[in-house]
Amino acid sequence: MAAAPFPRSVTGRHVLIGLVIFFGVMFVANGLLVYYAVSTFSGGDRPNPYRSGLNYNETIAEAEQQAALGWSAKADYDESASRITLQFTDAASAPVTGLALSGTLVRPAADTDDRAVTFREWREGVYVSDVTLDPGNWVLSVESSKQEGGLPVYRLKKRLIVADGP
């Protein structure tokens, strides 16, 4: 007589234990992934998104006023000089001068390196800020006004990518 392929047969108890172990591992792994996903980044890019949503009509009106200006802005980061350069031009491609700029630099996925930046007018329509940035992605948000402490007339949000090494 030939030997059975399994010395003992698989019982219902073996199947139950296998299923409990399998689904237990799945629940623990998914639980850890959910915990780390929720605890590391909230997903919001504003401190109070609910209040921003309540003022959405005002935000649309400000965007229309900004578009009516016809301004354009370019933002660049020069790694060798550790300098952010902003260039503002109007609808006729003339430089926009005399602006008071305030800005922030943030990492898109963490708030550990957030910092405020100040700009000074370097040439007509060109504003600079001396700041050293670590390699990686940064988001620059700038508000410009006609005078210090005035209402913002132009908002700029741009992603800057700083390379790792030369």
Give the CATH number for residue 134: 2.60.40.10
Task: Confirm whether 116 is domain-assigned.
Answer: yes
The number of distinct structural domains making up the chain is 1
Alpha-carbon span 132 to 122, nearest angstrom: 18
CB 150 within 8 A of CB 101: no
Task: Confirm whether 10 is domain-assigned.
Answer: no
* Ordered alpha helix ranges (H), 70-132: none
Q: Domain of 145?
A: 70-162
Residue 124's pLDDT is: 92
Is pTM beyond 0.75? Reply is no
For 128-163, the three-class secondary structure string (H helix, E strand, C coil) is EEECCCCCEEEEEEEEEECCCCCCCCEEEEEEEEEC
Task: Confirm whether 93 is domain-assigned.
Answer: yes
Nearest to 125, CA basis, from 73, 70, 48: 73
pLDDT per residue as tens digits for the range 115-151: 999 999 999 989 999 999 989 899 999 988 775 655 6
Task: Confirm whether 49 is domain-assigned.
Answer: no
Low-confidence ranges of the chain (pLDDT < 70): 1-7, 42-46, 147-151, 165-166
